[in-house]
Amino acid sequence: MFAISSRFSSYASLGKLTAILFLATASISPSIQANIEEQRLLFHEASRALELGHISQFNQLLKRLDDYPAQPYLEHDAFVHRVSKVKPQQAELFFRRFSDYPFVYHARGKWLSVLARRGDWENYLAFFDGRENTRLRCLSFQARLKLGRLEGLNDEIAKVWLHGYSQPSQCDPAFEHYLASHEAPEKVIWLRIEKAFKARRPNLARYLGKKLQPEERAVAETWYQAHRRPQRSLKKLADAADNERNRAIIVHAIDRLARKDSLKALEYWNLIRDQFEFSQQQIDQSQLRIALSAAYQHKPEARGLLSRLDPSSMNDQAYLWLARIQLRSSDWSGLKDTINQMPAHLQQENEWQYWLSRSLEADGQLVDSLNLLEQISHKSSYYGFLAADKLHREYHIEQENAASLAVDEEAFLTANPHLLRARELYFLDRLVDAKREWFQALRYLDQDGIKQAATLASKWKWHDSAIRTVAKTPHRSDYDLRFPMPYKQQVLESAQARELDPALIYGVMRRESLFDPLARSSVGALGLMQLMPSTARLVARSLGMKRPRKSDILRVENNIRFGTHYLKTVMNRFDNNVALAAAAYNAGPNNVRRWLPKESIMSADLWVETVPFTETRNYVQAVLAYSTVFDKSLGKNTLMSSRMGDIKTEY
């Protein structure tokens, strides 16, 4: 009769589905609950009828759902289904009726595309809402060109033109008009070429260069070659004329070369810098890029290069990397000076207060060191736990009971229709729509209302939204909301089977997906433990299982099984050192091997602090801290430092 959505695909019968819905609505009166369950089933049936083109059946079901909060989403689906045949009057009525619904924005975008295909430019401008979508903006430019509405048009086109990225083909007519009517077209072409090179879009820059006069076109080609082959180009540019364009090309080539080989870039910079009248900004920019690249590449010269930078040219990254280099070499005196010179917003972070305390300790200033550690140790965070371990203090993980807050669900949702619709869409497995409604609702709630919303999301087991929602409140100590433990049976079974710490599994899972079983990353990682399909397939093969499809990888039991198997693999590879295993889970074992200390054993806190990838460094710190919080819920008192064994030179 209807297709059970993927959220419930692991349940073999309608009876089990009803049981799940019952749990989700346990605080709702039985009669209302029964009605909601029936409406959800009818919604699925109507959606299926629309998919199959059974319009008469769809319309009958739509009438039966008149009082169902999510019913307008079926009307939206019907609108989109036949949008190519919709008349302007019908579209206007639809947008007016549902103006408060998030789907209107996206439906209007589809309608605008239809009007453009029809060439109905008058109505296109009537319906265009000034949105930032580049394709639709450029179509509005086309409409104005067709209708002769040119006043102020070039100013609007310029905002789209002056980007260093390729723009949709719908922009081409507007760009042609802009260049044809501009008093200095070569000037604006060069502005965009410069932005394209800065954005690392050399092919766009080369394409734009073809619009220049032959002499200028040759200069653009020189820049293109400097981008592609910086070292070879710098040899030639050393003998080039000293003019503004060549200086810009040289600075760009130095930047490109430094990203590959910082010391080679330094060699060329020292040879070439006095032959050209570089601006102070260009000098600072080049020297900063060389110094930072040397730091990223772990070159011994990086410390000196960063230390010699003019303080006025130092950015946050320069201070951070100088501090990390001093950390890695245990230069406590230099570290203390660098921290004291940092901008206030960096200096006051727990991270650098912790390391300042360590540098004070090394300098014999024990009282000041202990005072700083004392202040940090009250934080339930990575650095707070490190400080508490140093002081041999208990962690401050005291539960605030917002999650047990009594919420009258019916009354609260009746007063907040966006949240009511979000709940229904969540249980209908329309997660994108559900999140749009949910976060639109939060804009209208006070702090107490947001807290109640987070409590309800947690009760519905919509954990990722609960976690994101409570993060918008001061209730950082509501660990029941921020650190739930779903899928406990599967996690504990996998932990036991693979001799893994369940707190660590939960720490990885929370960092990876916020417990969203259907999470998909921009690079294609899937599910609770964010497995790349290639990794999941390798694991499945090693377990003697058939090649899994993406839908198989998303199934909770498979995702936990594959993810914990891979986690155990990297734990074994790095002698059960959690810091290294977490880094390997995030960035791959090969990167971790490259980051190992070269000469002698290093303490884990120092190693973590100097991981080159910011994402991986933050990831490892989060997994360690989260695991510590989950320990508390599991009734354990594991020290975070016990998971951070010293880092050896090889594994």
Question: Active-site residue 512, yes or no?
Answer: yes
- Residue 330, classed as helix, strand or coil, is coil
Residue 252 CA from chain centroid, whole number? 29
Distance (Å, rounded) from C-alpha 608 to C-alpha 617? 6
Mean pLDDT of 5-13: 33
What's the pLDDT at 398? 84
Give the model's pLDDT for residue 32: 59
Q: Give alpha helix (H) positions in 329-381.
A: 332-341, 344-347, 350-362, 366-376
Task: Tell me which residue of 583, 248, 580 sits closest to 237, measured CA to CA.
Answer: 248
Active-site residue identified among 277, 512, 599, 650: 512
Q: What is the 3-state secondary structure (H, E, C) of 151-210?
A: CCHHHHHHHHHCCCCCCCHHHHHHHHHHHHHCCCHHHHHHHHHHHHHHCCCHHHHHHHHC
pLDDT per residue over 274-330, tens digit each?
A: 999 999 999 999 999 999 999 988 899 999 999 999 999 999 999 999 999 999 888
- Helices 71-81 and 30-51 pack at an angle, to 10 degrees, of 10
Percentages helix, strand, coil for the chain, rounded to the nearest 5? 70, 0, 30
**Tokens 């609108």 sit at which residue?**
79
Residue 20 has pLDDT above 70, yes or no: no
Three-state SS string across 558-620, please?
HHHHHHHHHHHHHHHHCCCCHHHHHHHHHHCHHHHHHHCCCCCCECHHHHHHCCCCHHHHHHH
Tell me the average pLDDT across 140-165.
97
149/126 Cα distance (integer angstroms): 13
Query: Tokens at residue 491, please?
Result: 């996690």
**What is the assigned CATH class of domain 6-148?**
mainly alpha
- 102: its two tokens: 């998030």
pLDDT of 425-465, one tens digit each? 999 999 999 999 999 999 999 999 999 999 999 999 999 99
Residue 33 vs residue 198, higher pLDDT:
198
> 382-409, pLDDT tens digit by residue?
999 999 999 999 999 988 765 456 788 9
What is 157-329's CATH number, 2.60.40.3710, 1.10.10.10, 1.10.3720.10, 1.25.20.10? Answer: 1.25.20.10
Amino acid at 558: N
**Predicted TM-score of the model (pTM):** 0.85
pLDDT in tens, 564-594: 999 999 999 999 999 999 999 999 999 999 9
> How much is the average pLDDT of 214-236?
96
Q: Residue 559 is encoded by which pair of tokens?
A: 């995702």
pLDDT of residue 128: 98
pLDDT (mean) for 165-173: 97
| Token representation of residue 45 | 């049936």
Checking if the pLDDT of 651 tops 80, the result is: yes
**Which DSSP category does 26 fall into?**
T
State the DSSP string of 520-560. Answer: B-TT--BTTTTB-HHHHHHHHHHTTPPPPPHHHHHSHHHHH
Q: Is there a shared CATH topology between the 6-148 domain and the 488-643 domain?
A: no
Out of 1.10.530.10, 3.90.950.10, 1.10.3470.10, 1.20.1250.20, the CATH code matching 488-643 is 1.10.530.10
Q: Is the pLDDT of residue 12 over 50?
A: no
**pLDDT range class, residue 475, cuts 50, 70, 90:** confident
List the one residue out of 154, 161, 129, 128 whose CA is nearest residue 143: 128
**Could you give the CA distance from residue 369 to residue 359 in angstroms, rounded to a whole number?**
8
Q: So where are the chain's domains? A: 6-148, 157-329, 401-476, 488-643
Contacts of 11 (CB under 8 A, 6+ apart): 4, 17, 20
Give the type of residue at 285. Answer: Q
Residue 601 contacts residue 645 (beta carbons within 8 Å)? no
Structure tokens at 349: 């972070």
Largest CA distance in the chain: 86
pLDDT in tens, 27-79: 455 655 668 999 999 999 999 999 999 999 999 999 999 999 999 999 999 99
316-337 as b/e, with b when 16 or more CB fall inside 10 Å?
eebbbbbbbbbbbeebbebbbe
